[in-house]
Amino acid sequence: MKRRKFIQNAALGSVGATLGATLVACADTDKKTAIALEDQTDKQYPVVIATWDVKNATAAAWQSLQEGKSALQAVIDGCGVEEANAEGQSVGIGGLPDREGRVTLDACVMNEHGNYGAVLCMENIKHPIAVAKMVMEDTPHVILAGVGAEEFAVSQGFERENLLTEASRSGWENWKKTAQYKPIINIENHDTIGMLAMDKDGTISGGCTTSGLAFKMAGRVGDSAVIGSGLFVDNEVGACTATGLGEEVLKTVGSYLVVELMRQGKTPDEACKEAVMRIVNKSKNYKDFQVGYIAMNKKGETGAYSIHNGFVATTFRSGENTTETPGFYNTL
């Protein structure tokens, strides 16, 4: 495979051809050196990327990769950090409740084999992403919802606990005074988490976990745990995950779209931008909500784009954990 690539390079007849020809010669005489050269130029992994400023989460995922755990386990370990953080009000314990005061969680995972598992609208269990993995691995199904998901979690050894913290309860009490449903742009700022990880062998997995939109209708499910919308992984091409107003991501099957655009040759940045622009072009009221995508391709290159400024993504690569503002369409 690699050899074939060198030969293609040699046939290109451009600046790259010189390098390609050199590498072919090199491959013939000293294959190992050629492969090392190629790896240095192409390979940008292991790598972890997550939505928002979640350095503790990406650090945990990176640590898991360093310990030789799978990309899937790294994602679960990383997302688990935010799920357990009671101060984060968009995920796990401490998540803002629905209109009835119930904290309901959505989460999913996807691995390198294209397998998927999810829980929707699950109450009382702090780590929905770990339950999603068990749905994927230990049941004949891919989605469990509501009480069924909770009972499955308990049967697997998870403990029920009250996820409504005092801060989230008082946020809800406050909201009830006006009871106006209005998604707030960038309210998530650091906690609803979509994460993609690639291990040292280039294997990709992803996960997404959220308490969904604050003060949503009872039973509302967003994009985060729905395959192709909040998350999609194709180990031959790349992966994408989303944050923001789930209804808009669902209507455009956003994460699948980003992966398919990368398959057609777009960079992660370009693919995320095009998926965001589809939403902007379809929704007259795009100024009222945020959507952001993060993506990685098979080389481990990462990218992101959002409708408005205020979205950030955190990347852990080569031992460095960095939070950056990606490109965006509109300045608030």
Answer yes or no: 58 catalytic. no
Determine if 198 is a binding residue for ligand SD4 (CB under 6 A): no
Q: Choose between 46 and 246: whose C-beta lies nearer to ligand SD4.
A: 246
- DSSP for 166-182, please give it: HHHHHHHHHHHHH----
Q: Choose between 90 and 315: whose C-beta lies nearer to ligand SD4.
A: 90
Determine if 246 is a binding residue for ligand SD4 (CB under 6 A): yes
> For residue 147, what are the contacts with CB-CB under 8 A and spacing of at least 6?
none
**Cβ(226)–Cβ(250) below 8 Å:** yes
Rounded distance, CA 279 to CA 250, Å?
10
User: Scanning the structure block, which residue is given the tokens 């729905």?
Assistant: 226
Query: Contact with ligand SD4 (CB under 6 A): which of 210, 252, 283, 302?
Result: 210
**Smallest distance from the beta carbon of 188 to ligand SD4, in angstroms?**
3
Q: How far is CA 151 from the centre of its chain?
A: 26
Q: Compute how many residues bind ligand SD4; rule: CB under 6 A.
A: 13
Rounded distance, CA 142 to CA 323, Å?
32
Residues making up the chain, counted from first to last: 332
**Cβ(103)–Cβ(123) below 8 Å:** yes
Query: Contact with ligand SD4 (CB under 6 A): which of 104, 192, 302, 314?
Result: 192
**Smallest distance from the beta carbon of 150 to ligand SD4, in angstroms?**
18
Query: Contact with ligand SD4 (CB under 6 A): which of 89, 241, 243, 255?
Result: 243
**Smallest distance from the beta carbon of 240 to ligand SD4, in angstroms?**
13
**Smallest distance from the beta carbon of 189 to ligand SD4, in angstroms?**
9
Find, among 52, 106, 109, the residue nearest to 77 by Cα: 109
Residues of this chain that bind ligand SD4 (CB under 6 A): 90, 188, 192, 210, 212-213, 222-224, 243-246
Active-site positions read 192
